[in-house]
Structure 1
Amino acid sequence: MPCPRCGVVSWRVHGRYARRLADAPFGGVPAVTELVVRRFKCLNPQCPALTFAEQVEGLTSPHGRYTPRLSALLTSIAACLAGCRVRGSQPALSIRVAKDKPLDLLRRLPELPQASVRVLGVDDYLSRSVESGGGRFAWS
């Protein structure tokens, strides 16, 4: 297994641990993928990484808590909801999600080309209130 930092192949197993990844629900039932992952010791003495965990290609990523299938599902839901909170639809989808996860997934999407704004319509406007405190804003 090659070290992700220096690329030196290591065969020394430092230990093992159980890893749990949330997966897309099957038939309305939440699913969890559980696997045993090996931790390797880097054999390069100059490498800053003393140990590293093996990654299963297409299933795990460093520090990832979701499978790629569930990440894709949550990304499409977040894109449809425009990043709004997913809390209300959580029981119907059988997915447990942190409140910030949809926005995190949207931020990871590749950026779209920016178009210049030609016409901008504003429904409400902000006017500065003339109060002794100054610097306060009020909606008119």
Structure 2
Amino acid sequence: MKRIVIIAIFTIALSHNRVVETKIFSRCQLAKELLKQQFSRQYLPNWVCLVEHESGRSTSKINQASTSVSYGLFQINSKQWCRKGRKGGQCDMKCEDFTNNDITDDSKCAMRIFNTTGFRAWQGWVSKCKGRNLPDISRC
């Protein structure tokens, strides 16, 4: 009986844990993946710089601020662009979906953000990339 209870508790505990896939791109891997996702070659150094300073090129990065949370490679913010636990926001996506290795949904939302407000939507780009030397991806 004791063994059955322990197995049941263990099974319940495992079912509540969410497995997080993490990929940390190299600079060239990121540039190539962004091109596959239809990002403009013209702005590619800006996107690479943005991702490097927002998430460290990590797909599973989550950053809690006082009133919102930012998710994934592009640090997409829950205040305006997505909703935790359900689809919503201007990208009509679940924020947690931005923390896996498939960056297709992240890329679509990031492009929507860019098309709405440009790179200035990301503080990391404003403070670390705007008007500065951008990453050299010419050998990628």
Normalising to structure 1: TM-score of the pair?
0.19
Normalising to structure 2: TM-score of the pair?
0.19
Q: Counting helix residues as a fraction of each chain, which structure ranks higher? A: 2
